[in-house]
A and B are shown apart, each in its own frame.
Chain A
């Protein structure tokens, strides 16, 4: 008997004030393709998102390849193997190019591959170096669909592929191509779960599941996907991706750096550093204020990930999402060096490092607060930054300490 790739064991999930899945169980084995059918609101997307570790459960557990990846106790464990995921929303980062996005997906599977053939089959090869924001809605959907299929296309061993309404917005040729790919990936031994209303996708399913009953069928398609990828190891992947996102979009320049420079300019407008030369505490406060303000703006990469809820896709894949830790540390060091030169006319390496750490820890704290509300329906409207003034207290203590150095 084929090994189970996905197991949902007695899962109960609430959404809104209703119970959507009640003690629900589902097992998907190697080489199986399950098509979830049913009316709107019946729970198809909930199954996909629960399997992707995105929804908390009241009871039960989810296993990938036999290992628990999340359960009702709140544990979220990194899946033993990368998996393909296309959510109902595209969850793409608009500032990335098509190539960068797909490279990220490959990196999560520790593979490299020339993607030309795959993106040509969906007729977006000419847009591979374009930013996702510049693509049409249908083209963006194609990128999201390829992102979901790619882990299966580059790995010989069985992978889980979760596709939520993958056909939405696709032209007929692309739907045909998608069906062909699903057939070939299933024949390779991957396990595929699809939620869709499109009857054309029925032909590639080995099991039709409509919540009242399920039926088994044998798709008539024997071609198998040929894997041609190479193995590549990636370390500090989330920081590297965060660095690349920052570098491409210059988002930290328009948010963190702008705030820091404005603070410095405001302080300079109210006081001449030369007239304050005997007040070391005030001067040290002025020198460390830009680094603190830079951190209070938050993690710049997190801001990018909030667009189109791209963060959901990343949260499903990894426990830690792309970050700007390294960039925050460097920026804090740099802005403190500049501020010390302006306000104190000398640079102390200890204070400079402390400035870097202030930016790093402050942006980390803000990011932590933002991540804790990311589950909410309107996470941008939740006033979470009301809690950040408490960070002024430790900053003040550090300023005191630095003034005595």
Chain B
């Protein structure tokens, strides 16, 4: 059986995720039990942060794809838009879900409607959900692609806003881990597991995006063939 490159990347990303989970639960040190309400639940951080990181990569792909379609009418751009929105939705939901689990254990509430980072990231995930569900509800055409690309372009404004949100309006969410301030440093073992998680999620998301683009290519080919059969 011939294994394609995107399938191999997807599988290695998945394997990396398994390793990350194993290390997170069995090897990574516990945080200071006096500094947290629920120290053990902090281990979900090794899943949550890489998932959010991968979501941002997916949203960047969505943005580039949207721009390529909107300004250049690029077919590859539209495939990137679809792949980016699907991957952004998957990783966004993973980050939101794991964040809610941690929030419920640490803060006593899964969600804070007044926390800017939670809400802007939640909106990004809802935007991805809107793009995925909305696109499936419409016939493919320039009108559909233009409208969803516009949302993809405007939605990307939320990415830098989400990143800087904890610096400007700190309410509950911890500060940035990647490229954060001096006080946000973590131990080397924690950093290693986090790095493995980030690499695994990045690999997985690349594999997912490549696979999704290939599926879209086949769908478009099928659509063309159906139109040929219809005599259009």
Q: Tell me whether chain B's interface is mostly helix, strand or loop, or mixed.
A: helix
**In the complex, are the beta carbons of B129 and A376 less than 8 A apart?**
no
**What mask results when residues 165 to 191 of chain B are scored 1 for a CB within 8 Å of chain A, else 0?**
000000000000000000000000000
Known pairs A386-B129, A392-B113; A372 contacts B150 (CB<8 A)? yes
B144 interface contact, C-beta 8 A: yes
CB-nearest residue of chain B relative to A56?
B146
**What mask results when residues 122 to 164 of chain B are scored 1 for a CB within 8 Å of chain A, else 0?**
1100110110011001111111101100110000000000000
- Chain B residues contacting A386 (CB-CB under 8 Å) are 126-127, 129-130, 133
- Chain B residues contacting A15 (CB-CB under 8 Å) are 141-143
- Chain A residues contacting B53 (CB-CB under 8 Å) are none
A75 interface contact, C-beta 8 A: no
- Chain B residues contacting A396 (CB-CB under 8 Å) are 113-114
- Chain B residues contacting A16 (CB-CB under 8 Å) are 139-142
B116 interface contact, C-beta 8 A: yes
Contact of A381 among B123, B137, B143 (CB under 8 A): B137
The distance in angstroms between the C-alpha atoms of A15 and B134, with both chains bound, is 19
**Distance to closest chain B CB from A166 (angstroms):** 25
What bracket does the count of chain B residues touching chain A fall in?
20 to 34
- Chain B residues contacting A393 (CB-CB under 8 Å) are 113-114, 116, 119
Known pairs A383-B129, A383-B133, A387-B130; A375 contacts B119 (CB<8 A)? no
**In the complex, are the beta carbons of A377 and B130 less than 8 A apart?**
no
**In the complex, are the beta carbons of B143 and A390 less than 8 A apart?**
no
A2 interface contact, C-beta 8 A: no
**What mask results when residues 345 to 380 of chain A are scored 1 for a CB within 8 Å of chain B, else 0?**
000000000000000000000000000110111100
Tally of chain A residues near chain B (CB < 8 A):
24
**Distance to closest chain B CB from A54 (angstroms):** 11
A14 interface contact, C-beta 8 A: yes
Contact of A17 among B123, B133, B134, B141 (CB under 8 A): B141
A384 interface contact, C-beta 8 A: yes
CB-nearest residue of chain B relative to A14?
B142
**In the complex, are the beta carbons of A377 and B141 less than 8 A apart?**
yes
**In the complex, are the beta carbons of A377 and B144 less than 8 A apart?**
yes
The A1-18 residues at the B interface (CB cut-off 8 A) are 14-17
The distance in angstroms between the C-alpha atoms of A382 and B135, with both chains bound, is 7
A270 interface contact, C-beta 8 A: no
- Chain B residues contacting A382 (CB-CB under 8 Å) are 130, 134, 137-138
A216 interface contact, C-beta 8 A: no
**Distance to closest chain B CB from A11 (angstroms):** 14
**Distance to closest chain A CB from B136 (angstroms):** 9
**In the complex, are the beta carbons of B123 and A389 less than 8 A apart?**
yes
Given pairs A372-B150, A381-B138, 14 additional interface contacts (CB within 8 A): A373-B134, A376-B147, A377-B138, A377-B141, A378-B139, A383-B133, A383-B134, A384-B134, A386-B130, A390-B122, A390-B126, A393-B113, A393-B119, A396-B114
A contacts, CB < 8 Å to B: 14-17, 56, 372-373, 375-378, 381-384, 386-387, 389-390, 392-393, 396-397, 400
Closest 8 CB pairs of A and B: A16-B141, A381-B137, A14-B142, A386-B130, A382-B134, A390-B123, A393-B119, A396-B114
